[in-house]
Structure 1
């Protein structure tokens, strides 16, 4: 796949730029697209990195690593998401997070130093890109708060319901795309067997319908339970 086939102008990072302005920015900063296969570590914890990545195609996940090497799943990254920002902007901070591709992905890497130094040359283009960056950082904070909200729920059922409601708002449909059971259990920080049992109970009670890669809550049944 060529870089001009990735639909980069549709990404939030380039919102407000014309096709010609986007191409000019990419050429001047030396930004380059790279393909990664499913299961590849796109970024590794504690490694140095001088680039901001823009997920142009596919999905990835954030994996937080503690000092003992144990990993926990953070939020999911979808098309348009940014990665590598902390290690690129704060090189002296030992970032404990990795990024792993959960499907084949394409990432546009923008050198952070060149991004900063391009301001005097680009004027309007630079201002728009930096505004889009600030919006992206704010949205990332929202995702972190949503993750904390999910994990603060008292029961596994409450965690799953809130998780699905959040994704429904994000995807703008009640039939939401979800990861496999292993990955979902990691995101909800629970035992996979317990999650499977809870999903089975919710299906029996008419609260949940699901397929291989989707789930849909029955909002009326949820209101009755409450």
Structure 2
């Protein structure tokens, strides 16, 4: 696990912990590394889990799919991001999301139940870790609230402008990259790709933005 310390140090879950404390807590929560190829499922809707995942390399998509293959992207997880925390922290909870590898990736699985019960070694950093977990969960709630704000807009145009405006504010720039390709952006905003592409063309013609692939520049008058 020492090879992954550079990633773990920068992860909010391990904020305030030394390298020795990080390695100790990995043992405490029965950390296990797995690898998954692009397109492989890590978690599937309908299952339950006692572990949450931390992306060590690559990226994953947290999605919802119906029986007809329609996909709703809830979030994208890059190196250092977590997924599955609420379900792992709720014994017996059934997943209503799936997590799929967007590209070849390495995942660290952590047993949350071990974290939420008294640590057998009574480690000093156990309370730090619980506080960090609460912070991670709170941030995840904020991200999902943002998504609800975007998808609750009535039209594709309004959804696009809501999302792009929020990304501009989040990145403190009018020129920025987004983490999605065109299909993924359509799935994230719950719109048809063709309709979204047509709306982006209109917005460019109206002088509101310039875009190429996943790069956007918002123009103000």
Q: TM-score range by the shorter chain?
A: 0.7 to 0.9
Structure 2 match to 1:132: 132
Q: Where in structure 2 are there 5+ consecutive unaligned residues?
A: none
Distance 2:124 2:173 in 1: 36
1:1-226 alignment, distance < 5 Å? 3-4=3-4, 7-66=7-66, 70-117=70-117, 119-174=119-174, 175-218=176-219, 220-221=220-221
Deviations 1:81-119 (A, max 9, x none): 321223322232222110112233322211123223453
| CA-to-aligned-CA distance 1:119-142 (integer Å, 9 cap, x gap) | 352443111110011011111111
What is the deviation of 1:71? 3.8
CA distance in 1: counterparts of 2:169 and 2:54, whole angstroms? 22
SS in structure 2 of the partner of residue 119 of structure 1: coil
- The whole-number CA distance in structure 2 between the counterparts of 1:148 and 1:105 is 28
SS in 2 for 1:110: strand
| Structure 1 or 2: more helix by fraction | 1
Given that 1:209 and 1:215 are in contact with CA atoms closer than 8 Å, whether structure 2 keeps it comes out as yes
Question: What's the Cα RMSD here?
Answer: 2.3
Counterpart CA distance in 1 for 2:37 and 2:10 is: 23
For residues 191-213 of structure 1, give each alpha carbon's deviation from its aligned partner in whole angstroms, at most 9, with x where no partner exists: 11111111111122221112222
Contact 1:11 / 1:56 at 8 angstroms: preserved in 2? no
SS of 1:144 mapped into structure 2? helix
Work out the number of aligned pairs and report it.
220
The normalised TM-score by structure 1 is 0.86
Following TM superposition, by how much is the alpha carbon of 1:70 offset from its aligned partner in structure 2, in angstroms? Answer: 4.9
Q: Is the 8 A contact 2:13 2:133 kept in 1?
A: yes
Moved more, 155-164 or 62-71: 62-71
Residue 224 of structure 1: aligned partner: none
Q: 1: distance between equivalents of 2:179 and 2:82?
A: 20
